[in-house]
């Protein structure tokens, strides 16, 4: 043992040993934390690579489905204006007091998907069903990408009143890029 350590009092020696052990354990914890952090980053990178690989493996199937959809449409597709006009006229046939809002266009490499939102407030079940049927008849040029329906139940003081529905239809069309 070094002379300086043996020259210390007992309490000072204990304090020095406790301090050294605390520093050693703290250093070990810091190194362990860095190792676990690095391991987590490597694991996440591997998971991300697996996800990218899975997406790349799906690409041929997606391309085949796009080609099939394009052939079904006989290379004819609605642009944003045609979708807007046609969806609005179909909604007017069923429920003239409907709400209308153009949403957005998602541009992709081989196609663009246009979407409009049509809202029915306090519509009957028949109105909602009839409009959905009209949109289905327009397939493959136009389709329902999302539908939200919420029932409006009659008040308790009039339980036999008709149930109405608030419906929001997201009507979409796919416009294929010119080859």
Three-state secondary structure string covering 100-126: EEEEEEEECCCEEEEEEEEEEEEECHH
Question: In terms of pLDDT, which residue wins out, 144 or 97?
Answer: 144
User: Given the structure tokens 């998907």, which residue do they identify?
Assistant: 113
Dihedral sign for Cα atoms in the order 156, 161, 166, 172: positive
Assign 101 a pLDDT band (cuts: 50, 70, 90): confident
Assess whether pLDDT exceeds 80 at residue 76: no
The ranges assigned to domains in the chain are: 1-72, 80-176
Indicate the range of 8-22, 50-64, 115-129, 159-173 predicted with least confidence: 8-22
Assess whether pLDDT exceeds 70 at residue 170: yes
pLDDT tens figures, 106-125: 888 878 888 999 888 988 89
Assess whether pLDDT exceeds 60 at residue 1: no
pLDDT reported for residue 42: 93
Q: Which is nearest to 120 in space by CA: 111, 108, 112, 129?
A: 129
Q: How many CA atoms lie within 13 A of 76 on its CB side?
A: 9
Distances (CA, A) of 37 to 43, 50, 112, 144: 10, 20, 41, 45
Average pLDDT (3-19) is 76
Distances (CA, A) of 103 to 89, 114, 126, 171: 17, 8, 26, 10
Q: What does DSSP assign to residue 46?
A: H
Assign 148 a pLDDT band (cuts: 50, 70, 90): very high
Q: Are 170 and 144 in contact (CB under 8 A)?
A: yes
Contacts of 86 (CB under 8 A, 6+ apart): 78, 138, 142
Average pLDDT (57-82) is 80
Question: Rounded CA gap, 77 and 116, in Å?
Answer: 15
pLDDT reported for residue 179: 61
pLDDT reported for residue 10: 76
Q: Which is nearest to 66 in space by CA: 75, 54, 57, 55?
A: 75
| Fold (topology level) of 80-176 | Alpha-Beta Plaits (3.30.70)
Q: Are 112 and 148 in contact (CB under 8 A)?
A: no
Assign 44 a pLDDT band (cuts: 50, 70, 90): very high
Give the chain's mean pLDDT: 85
Assign 6 a pLDDT band (cuts: 50, 70, 90): low
Assess whether pLDDT exceeds 90 at residue 33: yes
């Amino acid at each position: 043992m070094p002379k300086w350590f043996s020259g210390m009092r007992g309490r000072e020696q204990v304090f020095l040993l406790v301090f050294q052990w605390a520093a050693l354990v703290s250093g070990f914890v810091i190194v362990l934390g860095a190792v676990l952090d690095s391991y987590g980053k490597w694991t996440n990178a591997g998971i991300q690579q697996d996800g990218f690989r899975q997406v790349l493996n799906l690409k041929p199937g997606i391309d085949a489905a796009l080609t099939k959809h394009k052939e079904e449409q006989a290379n004819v597709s609605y642009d944003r204006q045609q979708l807007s006009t046609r969806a609005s006229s179909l909604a007017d046939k069923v429920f003239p007091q409907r709400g209308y809002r153009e949403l957005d266009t998602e541009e992709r490499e081989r196609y663009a998907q246009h979407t409009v939102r049509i809202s029915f407030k306090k519509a009957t079940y028949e109105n909602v069903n009839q409009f959905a049927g009209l949109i289905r008849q327009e397939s493959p040029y136009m389709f329902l990408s999302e539908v939200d329906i919420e029932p409006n139940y009659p008040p308790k003081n009039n339980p036999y009143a008709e149930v109405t529905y608030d419906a929001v239809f997201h009507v979409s069309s796919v416009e294929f890029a010119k080859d």
